[in-house]
Chains A and B, each alone.
Chain A
Amino acid sequence: MRFNTIEHTADIGIEVEAESLEELFAGAARAMFSIMVDLDGVSAVLSREVSLDASDLVDLMFEWLNELIFLVSANRLVLCDFEVGSVSGERLEATVRGEEIDSGRHSLELEIKAATFHEMVVEERGEGWYARVIFDV
């Protein structure tokens, strides 16, 4: 899995490449959290199960990343480990791990308000998968 950030005048985006859909969704989550926090300082001490249904793969990516943003915003978690069990059709099952935000210990960088649909891509490319997501920060 590889990811990089995309230049955007006001906000920030990510591009992710992976061999499988599961890896792509896990990679997108990791890329997003790497914008929010220095992931080296985050430990996987607690876990949450995530189960989602969507209308297509783009919608599923939108739901997935916004679900994780919800865990940050409402439950004050930072996440570092994303075990995406299966992505089949428009369903996703995953276990995500991390810990509660501790502003004294974690190097918090940018708050992400949401993942947007703007120019979002989730598609098969060659032997693998590609995703592009722009966030509102």
Chain B
Amino acid sequence: MSGARRIGDFAWEIPTDFKPGMRVPGVVFADEELFEAAGRDKALDQVANVAFLQGIVGRSLAMPDIHWGYGFPIGGVAAFDESSGVVSPGGVGFDISCGVRLLNTGLTEDEVRPGLRDLMATLASNIPKGLGTRGRIHSTESVLRKVLTRGAREMVGMGYGHEEDIDHTERGGAYPGADPARVSARAFERGADQLGTLGSGNHFLEVQVVEKIFMEKEARAFGLHEGQVTVMIHSGSRGFGHQVCTDYLQVMDRVVNRLGWELPDRQLACAPLGSGEADDYLAAMACACNYAIANRQAQMHWTRESFEQFFKASDRALGLHLLFDVSHNVARMEDHQVDGRRRRVCVHRKGATASFPAGHPDVPAAYSEVGQPVLIPGDMGTHSYVLVGTETAMKESFGSTCHGAGRTMSRSKAKKTIRGPELKERLERQGIVVLAGNVKMLAEEAPEAYKDVSRVVDVCQGAGLSSKVAMLRPMGVLKG
């Protein structure tokens, strides 16, 4: 086994002899500090493990927010040939289509700051959050089936939002190929009343202010300017998606046994693309993506209602427009140049965001001249970012960039070293109002448990994977 070597200012190669069995090398996009952080846990080993999988093309990649996950590392990106490759549910994760959306407002910090505490309380009472909380939408099975195939479109049809929201969501608001017949009854049971719930852990809703614009033209296209208030929602597919992943991990585990494949980690269970099992998983995964998009759409709708109740004006008068909605745990069939030729590949992004440039067919019309918005949630004490996709990302990372700050401290260590109530006080002194279901648990999500998000996005910019458009500062945080 030989070690990793630096191959650029922001890139490190993990050669195939790092671990016997690797089919392609790994590449980690990082500066010295972030690379060293990645080496402290088992993340690099996981980059190498992904390179064992059948039909992997190019390199097994990791974004600068890489850290130890299960199966794939968090921040892992890998592409598999459509005829010789595989799809792996562990390469997407349990929280299928965990993602972020950003709602612009026409309000300034001065207009929102005086009543911020009450506004946060209104948001908290309108948006269900935390463990074991029932959602406000009691969806029958027939409604759920429509949500699973039509995503945000169905929600808008039901009155949760506006037509134009659909144009500002990845894949036009609905992942194609979703088939509810490929989803277990158990996933339906878990999904029945969790639609429109925030969840817990690292999920949040934040009221933020645009602190700095880096790219004028792109910011204008995204409707952003300094001093403007935005709302970020970070949430996923809830129990529905978790169950889809659990179900298909066992299906894929049996496939691996049948084919006699030796995998370095059982969590990497996978099936050949084109097989019945792979098709079934991709159809069920698309359902979970649509559930997640619908989930964020419902929460955005109640966010609009909360602002309407609070400011006594319509959401249109308040300028509450959806900027974009991205998924950062997903697998998709895409076309990419690999070794000088165009190939159809299944790109897995696990804790990584699509970063498509201007003119890419998957960039919505509204942004086709500037590129796809990339939404990066930071930790609750520092910043979040809006980035834009690049041509370089298409060449270097299958059109991908980072998804967040990435953890650096375990949850138990965070709880041991940081006290929730003290953290809440410290954030309040910084002018950040925090509403949490369990203040003690807030410690696990403390800013010091995360890497420096600014460093992560700077490395992405240095490596050319995305460019910074705007930096957002938190004003109010809602946690499960």
A residues adjacent to B (C-beta < 8 A):
5, 7-12, 36, 55, 58-59, 62-63, 66, 69-70, 72-74, 76, 78, 101, 103, 107-111, 113-114, 116-120, 134, 136-137
Contacts and interface: CB of A to CB of B under 8 A. Distances in A.
Nearest to A101: B132
A10 B406 CA distance: 8
Contact of B186 (A36, A70, A114, A136): A70
Given A10-B74, A118-B267, A59 B69 contact: no
Given A76-B132, A109-B131, 17 more contacts: A7-B413, A12-B410, A62-B250, A70-B186, A70-B189, A70-B243, A72-B132, A73-B194, A74-B186, A108-B130, A108-B437, A114-B242, A117-B265, A118-B267, A119-B70, A136-B93, A137-B411
A100 to B, nearest CB: 9
B71 interface: yes
Contacts of A36: 131
Interface in B384-424: 407-413
B266 A117 contact: yes
Contact of A74 (B70, B189, B246, B410): B189
Given A9-B68, A70-B190, A136-B93, A114 B411 contact: no
Interface string B335-379: 000000000000000000000000000000000000000000000
Given A108-B132, A136-B70, A12 B200 contact: no
A134 to B, nearest CB: 6
B273 interface: no
A36 to B, nearest CB: 7
Contacts of B70: 11, 116-119, 134, 136
A117 B69 CA distance: 12
A69 B187 CA distance: 12
B133 interface: yes
A8 B444 CA distance: 12
A117 B132 contact: no
Contacts of B142: none
B438 A109 contact: yes
